[in-house]
Amino acid sequence: MTFKYLITGATGGLGKQVLNYFTANVPLSEFAAASSNAANRSIFENRGIAFRHVNYDDPQSLKMGLRDVENLLLVSTGAKHRAEQHASVIEAAKDAGVKHIWYTSLAFGGFQATSKAPVMQDHLFTEKLLEESGLTYTSIREGVYAECFTVFLDWYPERSGTITLPADGEVAYTSRAELGEATARIMIAGRYENQIVLFTAEETITGREIIDIINETTGRQIKLDLVSREEYLHSWMRDPRGKPREHFEMIATVWDEIVRGALCTTHPLLREVLGREPTKPRDFVRKLMEEDRNYVFQY
């Protein structure tokens, strides 16, 4: 059976949002959901949604899962070897005759390819592979999920007193649900062939402003302490959670990029595709904290 659309990562945070929009707006016969876990089949089939087993590390599942698919949503993974995984999917898509790959990238650097963030290097690599593949593609550079502001601040509910960071700056945090909806909308519309598009909120927010919102909504009295990068990296030795130095290096690298302006680019396309104003970062954070004063991001 041929499917017009195949949505990978359909149990994940973004893929689930894309699938929800498809379920509400597209005949079930036109699309299928995919997961790396074959045991998830019943989750979808119980809803009347066709299922394909697609494991990026399993060539046979790629061969079988991508056959008779016209539009493939390639949701990027969080694996350390994601570049190799993405290369495998693209090659399998070529072999299977997929017509269009829709790839979920990141918005580090806006439309530029100059970001030094390690997490962005795999996305730039994948975009290059797509460009060279001969396949029609659309790379969707997504603003940082508004839901993951706790990761950037390295804040957790048990933490009180002071949040220590190596820097502060502007970030265009963007709702994951709105990113999912907009992704589904452009897939259905079938536009933006062989392009990079940028989906972001239209405002930015700083770490200090987020901390103010946390304090206002929860009654906490958290303060922000900005220290040198070197001092921040040494804080792993005092971390009550026992996080390794690599954890602090990751956060410091992200803030290096923020200071360079890598995540402050905004663009009107998300508003145009949604047909409404995207949720402002400050409104998103406030609502989250009002609903759950102990909120933490779940990957």
136-142/162-165 β-pairing: unpaired
Amino acid 236: pLDDT: 82
Q: Dump strand ranges (E) for the chain.
A: 3-7, 31-35, 50-53, 69-74, 100-106, 136-142, 162-165, 195-199, 223-226
Q: Which CATH architecture has domain 147-170+203-265+276-291?
A: Alpha-Beta Complex (3.90)
What does the alpha-carbon distance between residue 211 and residue 71 come to, in Å, rounded to a whole number? 41
CA geometry: angle at 103 spanning 18 and 136, to 5°?
115
Task: Report mean pLDDT in 10-residue bins for the chain, 299 residues.
Answer: 96 96 98 97 97 97 98 93 97 98 97 92 97 98 97 88 95 98 98 97 98 96 96 88 92 96 97 98 98 90
Task: Quickly count: other Cβ atoms within 10 Å of residue 98's Cβ.
Answer: 24
Amino acid 242: pLDDT: 87
194 backbone dihedrals φ, ψ, rounded to 5°: 55, 45
What does the alpha-carbon distance between residue 194 and residue 103 come to, in Å, rounded to a whole number? 11
Amino acid 78: pLDDT: 86
Domain spans, the chain? 3-144+175-199, 147-170+203-265+276-291
- pLDDT tens per residue across span 65-114: 999 999 999 999 988 899 999 999 999 999 999 999 999 999 999 999 99
Q: Which residue type does 242 have?
A: G
The topology under which CATH files domain 3-144+175-199 is Rossmann fold (3.40.50)
pTM of whole model > 0.85? yes
Q: Dump strand ranges (E) for 125-244.
A: 136-142, 162-165, 195-199, 223-226
